[in-house]
Amino acid sequence: MIFVNSVMIRIIVSLSAFAVLTACAYGAGAPAPSCSAEAAYAGPPPVDVPVVSQPAPVDTTRRAPADVAAELQGVFEKTFARTQATAASVAIYSETHGFWRSDIGLEAGEPDAFWLASIAKLPVASIIIQMIEEGKISYDDRLDIWLPDLPNASLVTIDDLLTHKSGLRDLQHDPAWRSRTGYKSLRATLDYGETQESQFCPGTNWAYSNFGYVVLGAIAEKIEGEPLAEIFKMRIAAPLGLTSLQWVVPETDRDAIVSGVPASTTFVEGIAGIHGAGAMAGDTTDLLRLLAAYLAGDIISEESLRATRATLYPLFSQDMSYGRGVMMTRVPDPDAPAIWIGHAGGAANAKALVAYDVSRRAYIAVNLNTNAPAEAIANMLLKALDHME
């Protein structure tokens, strides 16, 4: 197996668990009998926040030299061959080596937009933070302003939702909910969420909740009076010229997105039913541009950007942590330890990653059409850069 050492395998396993449909949770268990706004946080302690210098912008016109491209291509093909994917795309931008992108399993003229799953949480969080900057809402606003029938709505804050401290139970763990077939509308999802007791009192613990980001998307719709697909286009995709990035709705052309493995006739409907937790598709080039714009302060202000990483909570292990819509990963490779900032996502028929490698000053995006170790592919490609001129 090419992803050899045991430390790297550990983080691959942890990162691969980070899937829209299979996310684990801290603090799951019987709900607290009563809650109050004064309850203190008693969950996993936050991790150290690294110092990150300002990254350079991504310049996709500055192509990597031929020898660099050839070596990267060889690593990509070798690692891809060890997955069950039938299609994949990788894009890298390094301040030292320039831009390189390669696709496998995609014919000319075919779509190159993959389902990006939980990466969508980064723009959803950014949309909410934009609204905070505009004075339309605040971090301390309570959920009952918009959705009073959800559990502990008078205590859950916007910041609790952004940081996964709301206690709202992740519906993807509920067998009855997961067994429902076809498109799950936003209204139906919220209605079902109203019937679920909280995992813990808001603000007292940490548990990854896709449903919390569904709720954030619903709040954005109530504030703007527009569907989240339109809000995403208006606030993120169009201003940045990210033409491949799209919010998936039931009417989305199924031929516009790379099919997942295993194949499903309800692939698009399933993606659309994830709503604010992960209903986004796009290509690897636009993923690089999205993260670069985000880290440059072009989507939210630099002050807000710092706040997204001011407190990082452990996500499955001390190697991974989560802020406000953004992940940080300490890659425990003994040969080349690294810190990545970005987001990952996945499900049974998709895996995606976009990250900025702090020490290498390089961006990487990996899209696969099945739940294969995108992180291991990314690590091998980034390590290949280390010995190139």
For residue range 334-382, list pLDDT tens digits in order.
Answer: 888 999 999 999 998 999 999 999 999 999 999 999 999 999 999 999 9
What pLDDT, on the 0 to 100 scale, is given for residue 389? 65
Q: What is the pLDDT of the chain when averaged over all its residues? A: 90
Number of H helices, E strands in the chain: 13, 11
pLDDT at residue 14 greater than cutoff 80 = no
Q: Look up residue 54 and give its two tokens.
A: 């300002």
Q: Look up residue 149 and give its two tokens.
A: 């029938």
Angle between helix 186-194 and 210-224 (nearest 10): 120
pLDDT at residue 259 greater than cutoff 80 = yes
What pLDDT, on the 0 to 100 scale, is given for residue 9? 45
For residue range 22-67, list pLDDT tens digits in order.
Answer: 333 333 334 445 898 888 999 999 998 888 888 888 999 999 999 9
pLDDT at residue 252 greater than cutoff 50 = yes
| Alpha-carbon span 163 to 323, nearest angstrom | 6
| Alpha-carbon span 372 to 79, nearest angstrom | 10
Average pLDDT for 246-253: 96
pLDDT at residue 72 greater than cutoff 80 = yes
Share of the chain above pLDDT 90, in %: 78
Tell me the pLDDT band of 19, cut-offs 50, 70 and 90: very low
| Alpha-carbon span 315 to 320, nearest angstrom | 5
Give ∠ CA 34-40-45 in degrees, rounded to 5. 125
Contact 202, 157 (CB under 8 A): yes
| Alpha-carbon span 129 to 139, nearest angstrom | 8
What pLDDT, on the 0 to 100 scale, is given for residue 141? 98
For residue range 158-188, list pLDDT tens digits in order.
Answer: 999 999 999 999 988 888 888 888 899 999 9
pLDDT at residue 237 greater than cutoff 80 = yes
Angle between helix 6-16 and 374-385 (nearest 10): 130
- In 296-345, which ranges are continuous DSSP H helix? 302-308
Share of the chain above pLDDT 70, in %: 91
What pLDDT, on the 0 to 100 scale, is given for residue 30? 40
| Alpha-carbon span 354 to 290, nearest angstrom | 9
Beta bridge partners of 101: 91
For residue range 86-144, list pLDDT tens digits in order.
Answer: 999 999 999 999 999 999 999 887 889 999 999 999 999 999 999 999 999 999 999 99
| Alpha-carbon span 255 to 263, nearest angstrom | 13
Contact 4, 12 (CB under 8 A): no
